[in-house]
Structure 1
Amino acid sequence: MSLARSGIAAAALTALLAPAPQVAAQDAAALKKEMVGQWELATTERSKTCVIMMKGDATPQGLKLELEPGCAKALPFTKDITSWNIKGLDIVRLQDAAGQPVIDFTEVESGIFEGLRSGEGVYILQNLAAARSLAKSMDQMIGDWSMVRGNGQTVCGLTLTNTEATGDNFQVFLKPKCDPAVVAFAPNQWRLERGQMILMSAKGESWQFEADDNAQWRRVPDTADPLIMLRGQ
C-alpha cells in the first residue's frame, strides 16, 4: 500500500472512531425541549407527590422551574431545588442555587425518569397527565379480587386496599379458604409499578401480574397452569 493510500485509510478510520459531538448536542437539545412542561415528582408509588413546571427560560445556573406550594412538605429535599438542566446526553438534573445536583434522573421508559437519593430511595419524574392517569388506574384497583387458575377454578379471594403499609406499598387481605400455596405465600402488601400489579409477603417474596385487559391480570412469568387475578368474583 502506498503512503498516500495508507494516510487516507488512517484518516478514514480516525473519522469513523471519532465521537459525533453535533449528534450528541442534538440529543441533549431534543431532551431539553421535551422536558418543558408540567411534571410530577413522586415516590415510586405516588404516596408523596410534587408538581413541577419546567420552563425553557434560562437562569444563571440552568433553566427556570416552579414547584407547587406543597412540594417542600411532601418531599423536603425539594426546598433546595431552584432550577433544572440537562447534563451529558440524557441526565435531567434538578439542582440548587449553586448549580449542584439535588437529584439526577435518567429515562427508564418513554416519559418516565428515575432518580436515586442516597439514604432515601428512588423517585419518579413523570409527565403530569400520565401520572394522573396512573393514579386513576390505582383507584380502580381498590376492592375485591379473585385469584383463579387458567381453568377458571378460584384459589383465593383478596381485598386490595388504599391503606398505606410500608414505604409506598398498600395493605392487602386474604379471604378465608385460600389455596395452600397462596396461604404459604401470605401476601400482605401490594403496589402498581411499571404496569405490573405486585403482591408482596412479609418474608420479602413477591408475585408479579401483568394486565391482559382492564379487568384481568396474569402472573408472570407465564406457566402452563397460570394464575390470574380477576375483579370482584
Structure 2
Amino acid sequence: MLDLSNVNTFYGKSHILHNFELSIEPGTIHAILGRNGVGKTTLLSCILGLTDRSDGTMSFNGRDIISTATHERARAGISIVPQGRQIFPDFSIKENILMGGFAHPDGKRQVPDIVSELFPYLIDNMSRPGGLLSGGQQQQLAIARALAAAPKVLLMDEPTEGIQPNIVEQIENTIIRLNSEFGLTILLVEQNIKFARRAAKNYTIIEKGCPVDGGLCRDLTDNTIHKYLSV
C-alpha cells in the first residue's frame, strides 16, 4: 500500500532521512521505533509532504506521490494523528472533528459514524471547547478528526505520550480496534515497546535517519531492543 524506496528528506540544508526504505502491508499496523531525535516524526512528515524537500520514490496505492502536494496526499487517503495532538483549543469538539473533513476525498465534512462507537464522550459533548478536555480526551478528538478524512492509512505519532495512565490502555485498545475491526492500515510511531509488540505486525527501527532493523514484531528480541532502543 505504501512503499518508500531510496527516499532522502531535508529540512533546509539538514539531511534527515537517508536512502530510506520502507514497505507497509495493507491492513496491518507497522511500528516505527527508535530513540528520540532519530527521524521518526520526520518520516511521518515526509510521507505527508511536510518537509522542505524529499527525493526518491514514494508509492501509495501504486502511484508515486513524492512530488505531490500535501493536500493531494491527504485527499488520496493519508491522515495523521500528530504528536501533541494539535487540536484547536477554542473550537468545539464538533468543529475540531469537522476540520478533518477538508481532506475527505469527497469533500464531506461530517462526524463519522465510527466516532460514536469509539468515543461516546465526544458525541455527548459536541459543543464543549477542545481546550477544556483532558489529555486523553484530546487524543480521542485528534483520532476522530483524522478519521473524518476517511483515511486509507493512518499515521500516528506517539499516541500514548502525555496521557494519564488510566486512559492509555483505552487509547491502545482503540488503535488495535481501528485495525482489527475496521481494517485501517496504521503506521505507528511509538516509544512503548510493550504496546508496539502487542499491536503491530511489523516493525522498523530507525537510527540516524536510516532503517537499521526490521521484521515481524513477534521476532523482535530483547537483545535488539537493548542494542537500538535502550537509553
Find the structure with the greater CA-based Rg.
1
With normalisation by structure 1, the TM-score equals 0.24
Query: Relative contact order (C-alpha < 8 Å, sep 6+): which is higher?
Result: 2
Which is richer in helix?
A: 2
Which is richer in strand?
A: 1
With normalisation by structure 2, the TM-score equals 0.25
